[in-house]
Amino acid sequence: MKKQKNKKKITGFSAVWIIIGCALVAFCFFYFVCGNPSNFDAKGNPIPGNIFGTLYQGGFVIPIVLTLLFTVFAISVERALAMNKAKGNGKLIEFIGNIKLTLKNGDLNEAHQLCDKQQGSVSNILNAALIRYEDVEKQNISNEAKAALVEKEIEDATSLELPALEQNLSIVAVISSLGTLMGLLGTVLGMIRSFSAMGQEGAPDSTALAIGISEALLNTACGIATGALAIISYNYFAGKVQNITNYVNEIGFTLGQLFTKKDLKA
């Protein structure tokens, strides 16, 4: 049995450290950049057209929403790098096409060479399947049983690779809802401030009313933007993982067909 070379497993950054880093950036940005006195006039109101001062009016919920927004950005970049590494060298669809052609010709050595050249998660799974294929070929069992053993090897190899590909995507899925909810929380707090200003005896406090409305609208906008970006990011990378899974299944089917052809010849 041919020994499989040690393959570097595709790993990513821990979501905990990503969130902590994004929280530090978000709170520093909010308090030191948005809260900079230069963004406000003598009365403490944001200078007209100053987006940082206006954002500061959104209240303490804004840095929380920004943390979620920055986390989506950071995880999206991290997943893009991980997916590119998992894909390996060259176009994956061309690699799959070459492997299928090589397997149909029965040249397993060439298939191994293609895997070693491609690298990545799919090549790791395929290499494991090829080694198992060569091993079961020597066993005195039916071709149907051989195909089942190869399929089991593919499933085992896939179960080792897929978790790394799906890493942190669950965090993005949570943020898709949590971002909108946090924005809604900020909206409610802003409306409470607005109604409090309107409920005062005498003339309403126009400044407090304006700040409350700004807080509500800013939190709504940030929350919706965060939720929308998270949904787009999650679906995009989930689709990438599904494509890789489909490629693996396609190769597994091709290997199974090799045993079927042997049954037909027999």
- The pTM score is 0.80
Q: Give the residue carrying structure tokens 């080792």.
A: 160
Give CB contacts under 8 A, 24+ apart, made by 232-240: 233/72, 233/75, 233/76, 233/79, 233/172, 234/169, 234/172, 234/173, 234/176, 237/76, 237/79, 237/80, 237/83, 237/169, 237/172, 238/166, 238/169, 240/83, 240/165
Q: Can you tell me the distance from the alpha carbon of 46 to that of 113, in angstroms, rounded to the nearest whole number?
A: 64
CA 161 – CA 153 distance, rounded (Å):
12
Q: Average pLDDT, stretch 187-199?
A: 78
Residue reference for tokens 């149907």: 144
DSSP state for residue 40 in the 8-state scheme: B
Are the C-beta atoms of 202 and 170 separated by less than 8 Å?
Answer: no
- Tell me the average pLDDT across 85-108: 81
pLDDT of residue 53: 85
Contacts of 227 (CB under 8 A, 6+ apart): 175, 176, 177, 179, 180, 183
Is the C-alpha dihedral spanning 158, 163, 164, 165 positive or negative?
positive
For the segment 13-25, the average pLDDT, to the nearest whole number, is 90
CB 250 within 8 A of CB 96: yes
Give the range among 102-106, 177-181, 226-230, 259-263 with minimum mean pLDDT: 259-263
Per-residue pLDDT reduced to its tens digit, 136-150: 777 777 777 777 787
Give me the pLDDT at residue 231, please.
96
50-89: per-residue pLDDT in tens?
A: 888 888 888 888 999 999 999 999 999 999 988 888 888 8
The answer to whether 122 and 95 are in contact (CB under 8 A) is yes
Contact status, residue 10 vs residue 165, Cβ threshold 8 Å: yes
Is the per-residue pLDDT at 110 higher than 90? no
- Dihedral sign of CA atoms 131, 137, 143, 145 in order: negative
Q: Which residue has the higher pLDDT, 227 or 2?
A: 227
Partners of residue 46 on adjacent β-strands:
40
Contacts of 247 (CB under 8 A, 6+ apart): 92, 93, 96, 122
Lowest-confidence pick of 2-11, 114-123, 146-155: 2-11
pLDDT in tens, 203-250: 566 766 777 787 788 889 999 999 999 999 999 999 988 888 888 887
